[in-house]
């Protein structure tokens, strides 16, 4: 959306959320960024060759696997973009080839860079087609020499014929294999395969809005569903009685448990599993919660989750959504289940793209 002035982008997102949520509640004014550039702390680059057989790296053209070469991007972290360019030039000097999806020959598939904006820690993930890495130590040494800000390098092995970026085997080549960042005053470890919000400036605003909506007290039992590395749950734990987090990704759950220890938070527990199944089991065990904070992926929540939520009858539900379409779809079920949406707060987490984040507070009608 970069061809559209930023103020107009915000108006477009505002009216989209208003149109979708009109049947449910009022929509507050969207919170935009003061400086909506270079906000992405994560850069993912696909590697390949062009017609002149030169190595290129960048993003896939929409609905295809042809690579659009990118050297720098106005929404990405500048230092991360520079590391990708360095890796591209190192490939030729080390005679390493990008992976070719058709012939399944070649070595490097993707590079993923993640930076902790508050700590400066930088992680480089090299996604390779096979484990054998000719010239590995010299490659690592040359990369660190060119970018001393790199704190860890991980090799992720993805030998499958798949459009998934990351495979499930990892080798730490340098440093501790994860980075740390600070959000809302708490420290978080982030592993290569764990989810982490890509715009930390707006994430702090989003989390504050979500916690404010939850109106927590010391006697509240809170569920943080789709909790990732435990960010929202741990911030909630500072003003709640007990917090339980549930998350499908095992690496993220491990990070979450470690993060609770790191911050000396002892009133939070994390479970690995499908959020719907977990809620189902809690509801049928007669376990209760006063507040459910949920932050599902773009595809939204599941019917199973929403039905068990309604059966559990928490007073307040805070829905954090990165897709207003699936949010509106899920709100229909919650409305039928006796919940009334109070207000929605859009936050612009992704300037210059069509995406928009929204927090909705719902309360049980008879609460």
CB of 279 to ligand SAH, least distance (A): 10
Please count the other Cβ atoms lying within 10 Å of the Cβ belonging to residue 45. 26
Near ligand SAH by CB under 6 A, which window of 52-60, 134-142, 246-254, 258-266?
246-254
Interatomic CA distance for residues 235 and 356, integer angstroms: 22
State yes or no: is 184 an active-site residue: no
If the CB atoms of residues 106 and 228 are measured against ligand SAH, the closer one turns out to be 228
CB of 298 to ligand SAH, least distance (A): 9
Interatomic CA distance for residues 365 and 340, integer angstroms: 6
Does position 297 bind ligand SAH by CB under 6 A? yes
Tokens of 260: 């609770």
Bridge partners of 126? 111, 155
Local structure of 171: helix, strand or coil: strand
Q: How many residues bind ligand SAH (CB under 6 A)?
A: 18
If the CB atoms of residues 204 and 274 are measured against ligand SAH, the closer one turns out to be 274
Q: Residues 274, 304, 313, 363: which binds ligand SAH (CB under 6 A)?
A: 274
Q: How far is CA 54 from the centre of its chain?
A: 32
If the CB atoms of residues 227 and 240 are measured against ligand SAH, the closer one turns out to be 227
Does position 57 bind ligand SAH by CB under 6 A? no
Distances (CA, A) of 121 to 181, 188, 196: 8, 12, 14
Q: Residues 99, 107, 226, 339: which binds ligand SAH (CB under 6 A)?
A: 226
Interatomic CA distance for residues 309 and 292, integer angstroms: 8
Interatomic CA distance for residues 250 and 270, integer angstroms: 11
Distances (CA, A) of 128 to 97, 101, 178, 352: 10, 12, 18, 31
Q: Residues 46, 126, 153, 232: which binds ligand SAH (CB under 6 A)?
A: 232
Rg of the chain in Å (alpha carbons): 22
Q: Residues 25, 142, 248, 363: which binds ligand SAH (CB under 6 A)?
A: 248
Does position 247 bind ligand SAH by CB under 6 A? yes
Query: Which residues inside 157-216 make contact with ligand SAH, applying CB under 6 A?
Result: 195-197
Q: Give the active site residues.
A: 322
Q: Under the rule (CB under 6 A), what is the footprint of ligand SAH?
A: 195-197, 226-228, 231-232, 246-249, 252, 274-275, 295-297
């Amino acid at each position: 959306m970069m061809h559209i002035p930023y103020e107009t982008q915000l108006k477009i997102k505002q009216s989209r959320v208003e149109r979708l949520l009109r049947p449910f509640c009022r929509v507050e004014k969207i919170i935009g960024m003061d400086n909506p550039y270079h906000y992405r702390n994560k850069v993912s680059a696909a590697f390949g060759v062009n017609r002149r057989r030169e190595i290129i790296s960048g993003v896939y053209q929409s609905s295809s696997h042809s690579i659009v070469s990118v050297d720098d991007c106005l929404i990405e972290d500048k230092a991360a973009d520079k590391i990708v360019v360095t890796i591209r030039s190192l490939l030729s000097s080390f005679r390493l080839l990008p992976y070719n999806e058709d012939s399944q020959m070649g070595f490097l598939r993707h590079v993923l860079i993640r930076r902790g904006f508050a700590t400066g820690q930088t992680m480089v993930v090299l996604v390779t087609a096979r484990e054998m890495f000719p010239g590995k130590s010299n490659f690592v040494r040359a990369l660190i020499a060119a970018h001393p800000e790199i704190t860890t390098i991980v090799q992720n092995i993805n030998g499958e014929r798949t459009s998934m970026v990351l495979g499930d085997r990892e080798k730490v080549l340098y440093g501790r294999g994860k980075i740390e960042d600070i959000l809302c005053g708490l420290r978080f470890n982030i592993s290569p395969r764990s989810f982490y919000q890509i715009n930390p400036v707006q994430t702090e605003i989003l989390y504050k809005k979500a916690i404010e909506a939850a109106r927590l007290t010391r006697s509240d039992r809170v569920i943080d569903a789709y909790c990732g590395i435990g960010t929202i749950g741990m911030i909630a734990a500072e003003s709640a009685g007990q917090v339980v987090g549930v998350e499908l990704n095992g690496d993220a759950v491990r990070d979450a448990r470690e993060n609770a220890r790191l911050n000396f938070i002892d009133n939070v527990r994390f479970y690995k599993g499908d959020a719907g199944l977990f809620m189902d089991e809690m509801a049928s065990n007669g376990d209760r919660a006063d507040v459910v904070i949920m932050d599902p992926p773009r595809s939204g929540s599941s019917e199973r989750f929403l039905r068990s939520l309604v059966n559990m009858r928490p007073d307040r539900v805070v829905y954090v959504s990165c897709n207003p379409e699936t949010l509106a779809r899920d709100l229909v079920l919650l409305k039928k289940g006796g919940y009334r949406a109070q207000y929605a707060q859009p936050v612009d987490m992704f300037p210059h793209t069509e995406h928009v984040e929204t927090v909705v507070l719902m309360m049980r009608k008879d609460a």
